[in-house]
Structure 1
Amino acid sequence: MRILVFNAGSSSLKFGVFDLDPGAPLNRTRHVFKGSFDRFTPGGCDTSFNGTRGRAPHADLGVAIAAVPQVLTDHGVEGLDAIGHRIAHGGARFTEATELTPEVMEQIAALTPLAPLHNPANVEGVTRARACWPDLPQWGVFDTAFHLSQPARATTYAVPKAWRDAGLRRFGFHGTSHKYVARRAAEALDTDLRELRLISLHLGNGASACAINRGQSIDSSMGLTPLEGLVMGTRPGDLDPGAFGYLHRELGLEIDAIEAALNGESGLKGLTGSSDMRDVEARAAEGDAEAQAAINIYAYRARKYIGAYAAAMGGLDALVFTGGIGENSPSMRRRICDGLEFLGLKLDHDRNMVADLEGYAAPQIQAYGARVQVLVTETAEQLMIAQEVGAARKSPKPAPQPIPVAVSARHVHLDAAAVEALFGPGYELTPGKPLRQPGNWAAAERVTVEGPKGRFDRVAILGPLRNRTQVEVSRTDSFALGIDAPVRQSGDLDGTPHVRLVGPAGSIDTDGLIIAARHIHMHPDDAARMGVEDGDTVDVNLSHAARALTFAQVLVRVQPQAFTEMHIDTDEANAAGITGHTEGEVVPDMHVTTLTAKSTG
Structure 2
Amino acid sequence: MAQTAFGPGPFILTVNGGSSSLKVALFRDENPPVSMVRCLFSRIGFPDSLMTVVSGTTKKPESRTLAVPDHAAGMDLLMHWLEQAVGLGNIRAVGHRVVHGGVTYSRPERVTPDMLAELRRISPYDPEHLPSEISLIEAVGRRCPGLFQAACFDTAFHHDLPRVAALLPIPRRYDAQGLRRYGFHGLSCAFLMRELTRVGKTGEADGRIILAHLGNGASMTAVRRGRSIETTMGFTPTSGLPMSRRSGDLDPGIIAYLARTEGMDVERFHRMVNAESGLLGVSELSPDMRDLLAQEARDPRAAEAVALFCYHARKAVGALAATLGGLDTLVFSGGIGEHAAPVRARICESMEFLGITIDPRRNQAGEPVLSRQDGQVTVRLIPTDEETEIARSVHELLGME
TM-score strictly above 0.5: yes
Q: CA deviation at 1:12?
A: 1.4
Q: CA deviation at 1:2?
A: 2.6
CA distance in 2, matches of 1:339, 1:112: 42
Of 223, 226, 241, 1:230 maps to: 241
CA contact (8 A) 1:182 1:198 kept: no
Change in 2 beyond 3 A, CA 1:155/1:42: closer
Q: CA deviation at 1:14?
A: 0.5
Of 208, 211, 214, 2:219 maps to: 208
Please name the residue that 1:31 is paired with: 35
Is 1:394 equivalent to 2:399 in the alignment? yes
Is 1:118 equivalent to 2:126 in the alignment? no
Q: Please list, as runs of the form range in 1=range in 2, the aligned pairs for 1:415-426 lying within 5 A after superposition.
A: none
CA distance in 1, matches of 2:152, 2:327: 29
CA contact (8 A) 2:211 2:330 kept: yes
Q: CA deviation at 1:56?
A: 2.5
Identity between Structure 1 and Structure 2 (%): 36
Is 1:5 equivalent to 2:14 in the alignment? yes
CA distance in 1, matches of 2:91, 2:18: 22
Q: CA deviation at 1:328?
A: 1.0
- For structure 2, which runs of at least 5 residues remain unmatched after alignment? 1-9, 55-60
Please name the residue that 2:374 is paired with: 369
CA distance in 2, matches of 1:179, 1:144: 11
CA contact (8 A) 2:222 2:324 kept: yes
CA contact (8 A) 1:318 1:372 kept: yes
CA contact (8 A) 2:207 2:225 kept: yes
CA distance in 1, matches of 2:165, 2:44: 38
CA distance in 2, matches of 1:214, 1:4: 31
Change in 2 beyond 3 A, CA 1:262/1:216: same
CA distance in 2, matches of 1:242, 1:81: 50
CA distance in 2, matches of 1:303, 1:42: 36
CA distance in 2, matches of 1:105, 1:92: 15
Aligned pair count? 384
Q: CA deviation at 1:21?
A: 4.2
CA-to-partner distance for each residue in 1:253-272, whole Å, 9 max, x for gaps? 22222122111111111101
Q: Please list, as runs of the form range in 1=range in 2, the aligned pairs for 1:169-318 lying within 5 A after superposition.
A: 169-192=180-203, 195-273=206-284, 274-285=286-297, 287-318=298-329
Q: Please list, as runs of the form range in 1=range in 2, the aligned pairs for 1:105-144 lying within 5 A after superposition.
A: 105-144=116-155
Change in 2 beyond 3 A, CA 1:56/1:256: closer
CA distance in 2, matches of 1:234, 1:42: 18
Please name the residue that 1:68 is paired with: 78
CA-to-partner distance for each residue in 1:334-367, whole Å, 9 max, x for gaps? 11111111111111111112226xxxxxx11111
Q: Please list, as runs of the form range in 1=range in 2, the aligned pairs for 1:494-533 lying within 5 A after superposition.
A: none
Please name the residue that 1:474 is paired with: none
Amino acid of the structure 1 residue aligned with 2:80: Q
Question: Secondary structure of 2:314's partner?
Answer: helix
CA contact (8 A) 1:44 1:59 kept: no
Change in 2 beyond 3 A, CA 1:395/1:156: same
CA distance in 2, matches of 1:59, 1:161: 42
Change in 2 beyond 3 A, CA 1:261/1:216: same
CA distance in 2, matches of 1:44, 1:146: 36
Amino acid of the structure 1 residue aligned with 2:393: E
Question: Secondary structure of 1:280's partner?
Answer: helix
CA distance in 1, matches of 2:161, 2:309: 25
Change in 2 beyond 3 A, CA 1:290/1:44: closer
CA distance in 2, matches of 1:255, 1:71: 40
CA distance in 2, matches of 1:54, 1:328: 25
Moved over 4 A (4+): 73-78
Amino acid of the structure 2 residue aligned with 1:200: L
Question: Secondary structure of 2:49's partner?
Answer: strand
Comparing 112-121 and 71-80, the one that deviates more: 71-80
Question: Secondary structure of 2:245's partner?
Answer: coil
CA distance in 2, matches of 1:370, 1:62: 49
Of 162, 169, 178, 1:167 maps to: 178
Please name the residue that 1:93 is paired with: 104
Q: Please list, as runs of the form range in 1=range in 2, the aligned pairs for 1:48-63 lying within 5 A after superposition.
A: 48-50=52-54, 51-63=61-73
Please name the residue that 1:547 is paired with: none
CA distance in 2, matches of 1:42, 1:201: 31
Q: CA deviation at 1:324?
A: 0.9
C-alpha RMSD over aligned residues: 1.7
CA distance in 2, matches of 1:13, 1:326: 21
Structure with the bigger percentage of helix: 2
Change in 2 beyond 3 A, CA 1:365/1:67: same
CA-to-partner distance for each residue in 1:419-456, whole Å, 9 max, x for gaps? xxxxxxxxxxxxxxxxxxxxxxxxxxxxxxxxxxxxxx
Q: CA deviation at 1:312?
A: 0.7
Question: Secondary structure of 2:26's partner?
Answer: strand
CA distance in 2, matches of 1:255, 1:67: 35
Q: CA deviation at 1:77?
A: 7.1
CA distance in 1, matches of 2:334, 2:316: 17
Of 313, 316, 323, 2:334 maps to: 323
Q: CA deviation at 1:298?
A: 0.2
Is 1:378 equivalent to 2:354 in the alignment? no
Amino acid of the structure 1 residue aligned with 2:384: T
CA distance in 1, matches of 2:353, 2:261: 43
CA distance in 2, matches of 1:269, 1:91: 29
> TM (normalized to structure 2)?
0.91
CA-to-partner distance for each residue in 1:521-571, whole Å, 9 max, x for gaps? xxxxxxxxxxxxxxxxxxxxxxxxxxxxxxxxxxxxxxxxxxxxxxxxxxx
